[in-house]
Amino acid sequence: MTGRDGGTPLAPIGNSPVVILVRPQLADNIGACARAMANGGLFHLRLVAPRDGWPQEKAWRLASGADRILDAASVHADVAEAVADLHHVLATCPRPRHVIKPLLTARGAAAELRAICARDLRAGLLFGPERAGLDNDDMARADALVRYPLNPEFMSLNLAQAVMVMAYEWWMSADATPPRALMTNETRVATKAELDNFLTHLTAQLDACGFLRNLPKRPGMVRNIRHLFERGEATEQELRTLHGIVTELAEGRRQLGREEGG
């Protein structure tokens, strides 16, 4: 299998948790789960007693290219068999009741899974069937439960959405992207000297055309113009464009002056 960007093989990098779908009903959902997993860098799928049997062609159609995850999925008779070789198991559970167990957020779970996998232990994540969710015996086999903080007035994730949130948090738990950056490799943020240079050019032209002729107000007006441009994090390229705009507008004005005067 190759990634959507073409060429690069999609392969597990290091140790990652196993996603275990317990008694899933619809093959569509199994396929959509595989797609969600691939997005978040989860590659190991196990199915416990899928209702309509396995394999099913429909799953591959919904996987949007995450075929290798489905190809390698194993089928198990029950949760005990599916977790037998694992060291640590978390069970997702939107509404835990009467279970005395540590309860993790999705983010907390991702951090713990990351730590467990870094110790070369094998971890698994249980997801229950579409309607009923995991039963009490399934949950008893887990080290901890996972409940996503979401709108308590409307908690209704489908199976693939539930896997998506966990896969996303798994990926994020090792991600170092800055929350805000300037997107470009064609230019760069302008330095303060470059911005000053443009503002000097602009101010000179505004003096020349008479826009700043009210001398008592001039310092405040110049400052207000500076405020706007300092806020916008202009790039070096954009400043060159602005230099050009100012020059052209001023030139047009001069030519117009000559024509009118001539």
Q: Does 22 bind its own copies (CB under 8 A)?
A: no
- Do 118 and 81 meet the contact criterion of CB atoms below 8 Å apart? no
As measured in angstroms, the least distance from the Cβ of 71 to its own copies is: 15
Half-sphere exposure of 152 (CA within 13 A, CB side): 2
Cα(245)–Cα(250) distance, integer angstroms: 8
Specify the DSSP element, H or E, that contains 88.
Answer: strand 88-92
- Do 19 and 33 meet the contact criterion of CB atoms below 8 Å apart? yes
In this chain, which of 27, 73, 86, 160 binds its own copies, going by CB under 8 A? 160
Which x/- pattern over 171-190 shows residues binding its own copies (rule: CB under 8 A)? Answer: xx--x-xxxxxxxx-xx---
Q: Does 164 bind its own copies (CB under 8 A)?
A: yes
Of 20 and 165, the one with the shorter C-beta distance to its own copies is: 165
As measured in angstroms, the least distance from the Cβ of 255 to its own copies is: 31
- Residue among 109, 112, 110, 147 at smallest CA distance from 128: 147
Q: Does 104 bind its own copies (CB under 8 A)?
A: yes
Q: Does 9 bind its own copies (CB under 8 A)?
A: yes
Angle, vertex CA 48, rays to CA 139 and CA 115, nearest 5: 55
Residues 116-155 that bind its own copies (CB under 8 A): 144-145, 147-155
In this chain, which of 17, 50, 96, 129 binds its own copies, going by CB under 8 A? 96
Cα(239)–Cα(237) distance, integer angstroms: 5
Q: Is the peptide bond before 219 cis (omega within 30 degrees of 0)?
A: no
Query: Judging by beta carbons within 10 Å of its beta carbon (0-12, 13-18, 19+), is residue 132 exposed, middle or buried?
Result: exposed
DSSP assignment string, 221-260: HHHHHHHHHHHTT-BHHHHHHHHHHHHHHHHHHHHHHHHH
As measured in angstroms, the least distance from the Cβ of 12 to its own copies is: 11
As measured in angstroms, the least distance from the Cβ of 131 to its own copies is: 11
Which x/- pattern over 61-90 shows residues binding its own copies (rule: CB under 8 A)? Answer: ---xxx------------------------
As measured in angstroms, the least distance from the Cβ of 169 to its own copies is: 9
Which x/- pattern over 25-64 shows residues binding its own copies (rule: CB under 8 A)? Answer: -------x--xx-xxxx----------------------x
As measured in angstroms, the least distance from the Cβ of 231 to its own copies is: 12
Q: Does 15 bind its own copies (CB under 8 A)?
A: no
As measured in angstroms, the least distance from the Cβ of 58 to its own copies is: 15
Specify the DSSP element, H or E, that contains 44.
Answer: strand 44-48
Residues that bind its own copies (CB under 8 A): 3-5, 8-10, 32, 35-36, 38-41, 64-66, 96, 98-108, 111-112, 144-145, 147-158, 160-161, 164-165, 168, 171-172, 175, 177-184, 186-187, 233, 235, 237-238
